[in-house]
Amino acid sequence: MPTTAPPSPYALPDEDVERGKRALVRDAAWASLTGALQGGVIMVGFALALGAGPLVLGLLASIPFIGQLSQLVGVAVVERVRVRRRVAVTALGIARVAILVLALIPFLPARLQVWTLVAMQLLIAVPSSIAGCAMNSWTHQLVPRHSLGSFFSRKLFWATLIGCLGSLAAGFYVDRTPWGEGASAYAILFVVAAAAGFVSIWYVVHTPEPLMPPAVTHGFLSRMLPPFRDHGFRRLLVLMGAWNFTSNLAMPFLAVFLMQRLGYTLGTVTTLWVTSQLANALTVYLWGRLSDRFTNKAVLSGALPLFFLCLFSLIFMSSPLLAEVRLPVLFAVHLLMGIAAGGVSLATANLGLKLAPHEQGTAYLASVSLVGALAGGLAPTVGGALAEWVASVELSVLVHWVTAQAADDFTVLTFGHWEMLFALSALLGLYVMHAMSRIVETGPAAERAIIQEFVLEGLRSVNQLSSISGLTAIVSAVGRLADRRRSLRAFVVFTGRDASPRS
């Protein structure tokens, strides 16, 4: 007589799984609204209203990468506590309270405002990353593999929709609000963001949690050394470090450039951000088809030059010659850079999976995240320091026109400190393309659906200050990689991952 296997002590009944999936989708939507109302371009506008200079803006852009490094702490905390709900709720609660403190900053003495903002951003980013580590492990154990595709697609849809609508509404609210001026206009946004964040915590609290499997302990350092000794994989690490440093040297300041230098309102800048976000997400599938037909280096050979050409074009945006068509050109640039950033993120993620030995995949992919986070975190601070150093420098290109009746001078192009930063970043892009050319791509192509899922999660895992989407897609959470490696082969359809920042 056949016997049925006893139920796993680490699995939940089907009705609890379905209830948990519904709760996690709602959590993603509310968390995405939280991020939209207090992060990204909105945070740039708030920092500028407080009088933040380039160096402080660079520090703010570096903080999300510092948060990614705290995933290492998250792994240790989760393994020690072994109740992921407790870790996630506590960490998210701290982050939500910090968002509430943001609403008080406009009413503090002026000398305290900027550095309180920096401190609160740290208090948002670090606990949010630790909570993300707990939530990732929890989600992948809760949701059955056969339904991961539909589950993540539903989360992606609602989180992206709510995030984009929230960003647009926040931008236009600040432009037209009758309540408060300058930095005080942002206070109500932060209160609403915190309220949405507490609603997301409510759904986390009501998500069933299975027991964690027994921990498998290995020496962390001993596992992390092989990727750096592997000559072929080390070339990929060089590429990832160069790409993350170069792209984040200037791009976190694009929103600042658009508002300060070109004079656009926050509503216009958030609209540009949404354009980039949608272009990035909608073209990942097409980049995947190209990587399947050709190679990932072929995708990089197209995406990298496109990205850096668009970056270089930004130095001409203040030219009087573009006055009549500047905004349509900026929309086109954001569209193309969003597309290019998506291609770079997909191809580099694919290369990481292909070049990493299967039995050591977690450590190899963790090394990619660590290098990316370190380089991406250093770059905005360096960029901000450089911009502050040359803030008073300006280079103008004049045309002297002389006729028999008169002589006139026309300013064709003006280089300020932001344009210089864009030019330097574009110039460093040449080294990024050189580093790409040195990679030897071997092995079978990874499944397209796997990489799309991997990239779409990373697109919003870091809450950037740039108005270009997807620059930090490859810097995915270090603490998520062990679960990711086990779940990668489960996908056979195009899927999306959690699009909500856990802030």
Q: Which H or E run includes 408?
A: strand 407-415
Q: Where are the alpha helices (DSSP H) in 143-264?
A: 148-176, 187-205, 220-229, 231-250, 254-256
| pLDDT(457) > 50 | no
Q: pLDDT value at position 176?
A: 85
The pTM of the full predicted model, rounded to 2 decimals, is 0.80
> Is residue 336 predicted with pLDDT exceeding 80?
yes
pLDDT score at 497: 40
- Between 496 and 142, the higher pLDDT residue: 142
CATH at 473? 1.20.1250.20
Instruction: Answer whether residue 340 is part of any domain.
Output: yes
What's the rounded mean pLDDT across residues 307-324?
A: 89
296 lies in which domain range? 16-486
Whether residue 3 is contained in a domain is answered as no
* Residue 261 token pair: 């230098």
φ/ψ region of 501 (left if φ > 0, alpha if ψ in -120 to 50, else beta) reads beta
| Across 227-233, average pLDDT | 85
189 part of a folded domain: yes
Q: Strand, helix or coil at 129? A: helix
Q: Is residue 204 part of a domain?
A: yes
For residues 475-499, average pLDDT: 40
Between 335 and 144, the higher pLDDT residue = 335
d(CA 265, CA 267): 5
Per-residue pLDDT averaged across 86-113, rounded? Answer: 94
The answer as to whether 5 is a domain residue is no
pLDDT surpassing 70 at residue 12: yes
* Residue whose C-alpha is closest to residue 337's, from 163, 434, 445, 464: 464
Q: What is the mean pLDDT of residues 46-55?
A: 92
Mean pLDDT, residues 84-111 taken together: 94
Q: Looking at residue 370, what is its pLDDT?
A: 85
- For residue 408, pLDDT over 90 is answered with no
Six-digit token pair at 121?
Answer: 């951003």
**What integer pLDDT is reported at residue 474 of this predicted model?**
46
Which candidate, 303, 375, 294, 293, places its Cα nearest to that of 338? 303
Using the predicted structure, report yes or no on whether residue 89 has a pLDDT greater than 90. yes
Asked whether residue 150 is domain-assigned, the answer is yes
Mean pLDDT of the chain: 81
Domain count, the chain: 1
Residue 469 has pLDDT above 60, yes or no: no
Residue 478 has pLDDT above 50, yes or no: no
Q: pLDDT confidence of 479, banded at 50, 70, 90? A: very low
Asked if residue 493 is part of any domain, the answer here is: no
Q: Is residue 238 part of a domain?
A: yes
Section 38-51 average pLDDT:
91
